[in-house]
Structure formats: structure tokens, C-alpha cells
Chain A
Amino acid sequence: MYMPPRVVTNAEIAARVDRTEEWIENVSGIRERRWADPETSVADLAVAAAEDCLSRAEISAASLGMIIVASGSARAGFPGPAAEVAARLGLDSTPALDVPMASAGSLFALVMASQMTTHFGDVLVIGAEKMSAVLEAHPLDPNTAILFGDGAGAALVSARPGRWEVLDSVLHSDGSFRDALAFNWNSPLRMNGLSVILQATRKLPSAIEEVLARGNVAVGDVPVFLLHQANQNLLMRVAKSLGVPSERVYSNVGRYGNTSSASLLIAAAEWSRENPAAGPVIFSAFGAGLHWGALLARPRE
């Protein structure tokens, strides 16, 4: 993972959007986030996270069979950031795929990667977002400016034995609510918070319960739920819906804000560094599209 060093506090945001620090924390659970410098690109963040992941996995980029970069905040146009990331990792023929999807992108990429390893070998999945550029492209809107942060996470998905084994996954999309959360560089980020939260509070627990039922795993046997870090209130709501203690839903949204498609892999990286893998783990995300789903993994025995 890689987080830009500049910490943006609620005090700084509050002053710019005419709100109070307390209001920001109450509605989001966010105390601070990281914003990259103006010169930093999505590819810069992605390369830093990729290098950290490869170093920890003790493998070289040359051994990768594919790279997938999930990002909803890369600059419009082509090529997407994946080709640049691959080139900067020293690769000149490894396929590099963009998943231009906000929030749920790294979950979709993880699921795709888990199905692709038998053909391609090791797949490096990266979620990288510079949401500050999305926010700063237009006058700040208090309802969105308080939420988002920058950062990148990465995970190596391999057919070889690793720390976790992917057991099953479910993915879903419903474009009928595509206007509820949408952005292009020509106009400000649009978010119908009521609609998004109403959908997310149903779809996240539903996808998690679906994949657990398919795997015949009881919700109480899952020690940790690694979710897209959208909003602390939403994470608590998902825990309540699942009937699990809120501390089982990992949270770092208070420190990093909502880093869109990067957040799932950042959460996974932080959690796995701090905790031994014990019991099945759920990855789950929901985002603009709408796209949502869940992945069930367990420690490799």
C-alpha cells in the first residue's frame, strides 16, 4: 500500500466548505485523509503500492503474468494508468488491464484475477485513486469534499499457495441507479447520498450473506470483514445488519477517508500486517454503477 504523506484534517476541509469539524466526523466518522500533491498521478500512487506489495511478497515484477489497475479517478482518455504502471515496473510485454470503476473496482479486479491465474500466472491487483483531483476539479461540495482521500493498495493473486485461498465470490451490477453516483471531468461529482446509502445498506450485507451461504460458512465464524471504506456509519450499519460486533468490520476510514477503489486493498494490507490470518475472511465492496459483491477467502492450511 502507499498513502501520500500530506494529512488533510477536518479543520482544513471545514474551513473550505463552511462546515464544522464535528459535523464532518458525525456524518462520516472521518477525522483526516491523505491528499497527494497536485503533480502526483494515479499511476504514481499505483507504482508505489505495487513496489511495496512486490517487495513484501519477495517476487520481482518480471515474474508477473498480468497487472490489473482499478481506478475511477484516473484522467479520462486513453491509455488508462495500467500500461504506464507496467512500464514503470520495467515490464514491456506483460498484459496490463484497467478497471475504470470507482469504489468496487478492486473487488471486481480481485475476483477476475482469482479466475485468471491458471492462464496468466501471478496477477498483481492494484487499486489507486486520486480523489482529491476529482474534488478539486470544480468548486468543493461539502457533501463530497469531506469524504474522499487519495491512496493505493495492492495484492498479489497467485495460483501458488499464499497466505489466503480464495474460496468463492459473487459480483453484481445494476445500472438503473447509475445517476446516483457519477463523475466526469466536465462537471462536479454527483452523489445522491440518500439513494447510495439506502442501496449500500441492503446490497453489502446481501452479497456477504450470499457468498457465505454458498460456502456454507456461518457469519459468526468470520473473524474479520474487510469492506470498502466508504463511511464509518455505513460500516457500522453493515455490522448491525449481519448481526456481528462492529469491531469485526475493519475500519481505517477515520484516518484515510474514502479512497474509493483503493480502500479495500489498503484495508486488507493494514489488517493483514496487524493480525494473523485466522478463519475465513470476507472482502466486500459497493460503488458507483451500481457495482457490488463479496469474496470469501480463508487462510491457506
Chain B
Amino acid sequence: MPDASRRTRLLAVLKTVTSQPLPDDDEESLFESGLLDSFALPDLVSALEREFSIKVPDRDLNPRKFDSIARMEAYLAEHAA
């Protein structure tokens, strides 16, 4: 079930780590599109942890889990309260 509030908060977090406009397609790779680079990703994960009061364990620090808006929503749906 999509969570509108979670999505709004996710998009707000994304806007804090990139100055580029977010893609219309939720499945688009944020790395391949150049929206996120290798040093923005750690910032993004830290910002998600703060916003959603979660701790992303090191075993989950896989770029694929944070590759697109859809994948981040799926991760948060599973791990965020």
C-alpha cells in the first residue's frame, strides 16, 4: 500500500542531497542519470536514517537498494515504522 507521507518525506530528503530535479519515473536509476554520485550516496543514507529514525545496517549498504525512488520506497516500507 503506497504511503503518501513516507513518499513526501523521501522526496524531501532526496532534494537535500541533490540540486538536480528529481526524475518523473520512479524506476529511473539515480546514479546512471547523474542525480547522485558516489559521495552523495552516503549523505542520502545518513539523511534517510535521520528522517525515518532507522539504522541502515552495513550489510544493507548496497547501492542497488538506493538506486531509484521506487527501491528506496520499498526499503523504507520494509524497515521504517
A interface vs B, CB < 8 Å? 174, 176, 192-195, 197-199, 201-203, 233, 237
Q: How many chain B residues touch the partner (CB < 8 A)?
A: 11
Q: From residue A29, how far is it (CB to closest CB) to chain B in Å? A: 11
The answer to whether A195 and B63 have CB atoms under 8 Å apart is yes
Instruction: Please count the residue pairs between chain A and chain B whose beta carbons lie under 8 angstroms apart in the complex.
Output: 34
Query: In whole angstroms, what is the CA distance A279 to B46 when docked?
Result: 31
The answer to whether A197 and B39 have CB atoms under 8 Å apart is yes
Query: In whole angstroms, what is the CA distance A176 to B63 when docked?
Result: 14
Which of A174, A176, A201 has a CB less than 8 Å from the CB of B42? A201
Which of B9-17, B20-28, B54-62 touches A?
B54-62
B interface vs A, CB < 8 Å? 31, 38-39, 41-42, 45, 58-59, 61-63
Which of A174, A194, A197, A233 has a CB less than 8 Å from the CB of B58? A174
Q: From residue B53, how far is it (CB to closest CB) to chain A in Å? A: 18
* Contact A198:B59 (CB < 8 A) given known A237-B39, A237-B42: no
Query: In whole angstroms, what is the CA distance A199 to B41 when docked?
Result: 11
Q: From residue A293, how far is it (CB to closest CB) to chain B in Å? A: 14
Residues from chain A with Cβ under 8 Å of B31 in the complex: 194
Q: From residue A175, how far is it (CB to closest CB) to chain B in Å? A: 12
Query: In whole angstroms, what is the CA distance A199 to B18 when docked?
Result: 20
The answer to whether A197 and B42 have CB atoms under 8 Å apart is yes
Query: In whole angstroms, what is the CA distance A194 to B38 when docked?
Result: 5
- 24 A–B pairs (Cβ distance < 8 Å), ordered by A: A174-B58, A176-B59, A192-B63, A193-B38, A194-B38, A194-B41, A194-B63, A195-B61, A195-B62, A197-B38, A197-B39, A198-B41, A198-B42, A198-B61, A198-B63, A199-B58, A201-B39, A201-B42, A202-B42, A202-B61, A203-B58, A233-B39, A237-B39, A237-B42
Q: From residue B76, how far is it (CB to closest CB) to chain A in Å? A: 17
Query: In whole angstroms, what is the CA distance A198 to B38 when docked?
Result: 7
The residue among B38, B45, B62 with the most chain A CB atoms within 10 A of its own CB is B38
Residues from chain A with Cβ under 8 Å of B39 in the complex: 197, 201, 233, 237
Query: In whole angstroms, what is the CA distance A202 to B61 when docked?
Result: 9
Query: In whole angstroms, what is the CA distance A284 to B39 when docked?
Result: 20
Q: Please name the 10 residue pairs, one residue from A and one from B, whose CB atoms are nearest each other, closest first.
A: A194-B63, A201-B42, A197-B38, A198-B61, A194-B38, A193-B38, A233-B39, A198-B41, A195-B63, A199-B61
16 more contacts with CB within 8 A, not counting A198-B41, A198-B45, are A174-B59, A192-B63, A193-B38, A194-B31, A194-B38, A195-B62, A195-B63, A197-B38, A198-B61, A198-B62, A198-B63, A199-B58, A199-B61, A202-B42, A237-B39, A237-B42
